[in-house]
Amino acid sequence: MLDALLATPAVLRLVDLALEEDLGRGDVTTEAVIDRDATATAQLVARESLVLAGLGLCTLVFQRVDAEVVAAESAKDGDRIAAGTAVASYRGRAASLLAAERTALNFVQRLSGTATLARAFVEAAAGSRLRIADTRKTTPGFRLLEKYAVRVGGASNHRCDLGSGLLIKDNHVAVAGGVRQAVEKARGRAPHGLRIEVEVDSLAELEEALAAGADVILLDNFSPADLDRAVARTGPLPQRPLLEVSGGVTLRRIPELARAGVDIVSVGALTHSARAVDLSLDIGINGPGQ
């Protein structure tokens, strides 16, 4: 996604919430101690090896606080950055840089954390046809941003919301009276641009899903052995439906899943439990006269 398309009204609202919560009462320290004419230059530096994501958003935060901050980005989202490397510099009023610092870092550290973790999963599946996909287990308010970070890391997006993907889960099956009935209802009523995906918990349900003509089948918490059986049963693409795996998948299991021949594995941890990676701002005060 282009940065221009990432600054949606909802993302700007989130940025405003973040600025308001940190800057909404002013910055008493800076106001007490820093001369209002002082200018400074700040380097954004990676403190560990990471995959960068959200650099444009970081810049947007600085410039939303003070439109006169001048930015120079020297890396781009998706780049693998070595520890100690500067990825951008910001120049402007010292007070503005100090005020925006924490909010800007909180965004870029978090998104780069997700991109870095996604990259690790993707690399663990390298050489196979296994796609690493995210889930809807995102930080509330960050859905668009975190799904972008997932792509930046090289992984794929699952449906972005409840309206843009059709995924029949166990509860839907229970109400509909069975996998087949649920899939048929969905085929009749859902928008025609959406594939019909159904979650199955057993090989028996897999049979039902195949019979019903599901487009994608989500194998939930299948044992390795059952996974092999499921793949064997469904046969080769493109005749068969896509096979997706989910359920507490760790980085360690990726090679095994890649070998098993499934198409997609969805990993909630990419967005719900990625730690923030370490980026910091080195600020050098230029003095009052620019």
Site membership for a second copy, residue 71 (CB under 8 A) = no
Site membership for a second copy, residue 73 (CB under 8 A) = no
Residues numbered 216-235 forming contacts with a second copy, rule: CB under 8 A: 216
Site membership for a second copy, residue 239 (CB under 8 A) = no
Site membership for a second copy, residue 4 (CB under 8 A) = yes
Site membership for a second copy, residue 94 (CB under 8 A) = yes
* Residue in 31, 224, 256, 259 binding a second copy, rule: CB under 8 A: 31
* Residue in 73, 123, 128, 185 binding a second copy, rule: CB under 8 A: 185
Site membership for a second copy, residue 129 (CB under 8 A) = no
Give least dist CB 4 to a second copy, A. 4
Q: Say which residue the tokens 């978090």 belong to.
A: 110
CB 184 within 8 A of CB 155: no
Q: How many residues bind a second copy (CB under 8 A)?
A: 110
Catalytic residue among 13, 76, 129, 169: 169
Residues numbered 160-179 forming contacts with a second copy, rule: CB under 8 A: 160-169, 171-172, 174-176
Q: Give the closest residue to 200 by CA, choosing from 181, 219, 173.
A: 219
Q: Residue 285 pairs with which residues in a beta bridge?
A: 40
| Pick 127 or 225: Cβ nearer a second copy | 127
Q: Residue 279 pairs with which residues in a beta bridge?
A: 46
261 Cβ contact partners less than 8 Å away, ≥ 6 residues apart: 129, 231, 243
CA dist 94 and 283 (Å) reads: 9
For residue 36, the tally of other CB atoms under 10 A from its CB is 10
- Residue 270 token pair: 């990419």
Residues numbered 248-287 forming contacts with a second copy, rule: CB under 8 A: 263-264, 269, 272-273, 275-276, 283, 285
φ/ψ region of 42 (left if φ > 0, alpha if ψ in -120 to 50, else beta) reads: beta
Give the three-state DSSP class for 180.
helix
Site membership for a second copy, residue 109 (CB under 8 A) = yes
